[in-house]
Amino acid sequence: MLKRLSLLEAGVCAVLLAAITGLVFVAAIMRFFGYPLTWSVDLAQLLFIWLCFFGASRAMRQKAHLGMEVIAKRLGHRRQFAVEMVSSVVVILFLLVLAEKGVELTLLNLERQFGDSTLSYAWVTVAVPVGSLLIAGSLIHNMVLAWRRRAEGALVYTRTAIDRDAEPVLEL
């Protein structure tokens, strides 16, 4: 199921990026010919917000975000595990608060119109709780993998193994 979710996420990211690129290109061409698409900027921003959250969730699951590994690599495996668990719990708690506040913001913006389009601004703000929950789910997935692998003595996963949707490779 996680492989399918990962493939779905990758597909959604690719479609969103292609749509944004195509929309900006068409808008530029139309503006050149004197027929600007005033709604195109708003729609591109909306799609980009969703792309950011889907991409962040995928990057979090693959451990592809930038991180401070200099100190963590010098810690023993047990301390690395502890640092990963504590930091993941802190981030998950933050994401849950962000999701709650995002729902409140979405409910406040149901009537508001998004820029020059006829869309509700709620389509923008709902990306915050949805994206926060997706990222939290990715962190929980990583925590479960870390718990399963902790007995094997190492927590460092190479990114290429995860990219191939294979089991994480442990570095000893």
Res 4: pLDDT:
85
pTM of the model: 0.79
Distance CA 97, CA 22 (A): 35
Judge whether 127 and 49 are in contact, CB under 8 Å. yes
The CA–CA distances, whole Å, from 147 to 2, 152, 156, 167 equal: 17, 10, 12, 14
The single-letter DSSP state of residue 89 is: H
Q: Where are the domains of the chain?
A: 2-163
Res 54: pLDDT:
93
Measure CA of the first residue to CA of the last residue in the chain; give whole Å.
29
Mean pLDDT of the chain: 83
Judge whether 35 and 49 are in contact, CB under 8 Å. no
Closest CA to 59 of 166, 131, 151: 131
Q: Which residues of the chain have pLDDT under 50?
A: 155-164, 166-172
Write out the two tokens for 115. Answer: 């820029």
Res 135: pLDDT:
94
Contacts of 77 (CB under 8 A, 6+ apart): 150, 153, 154, 155
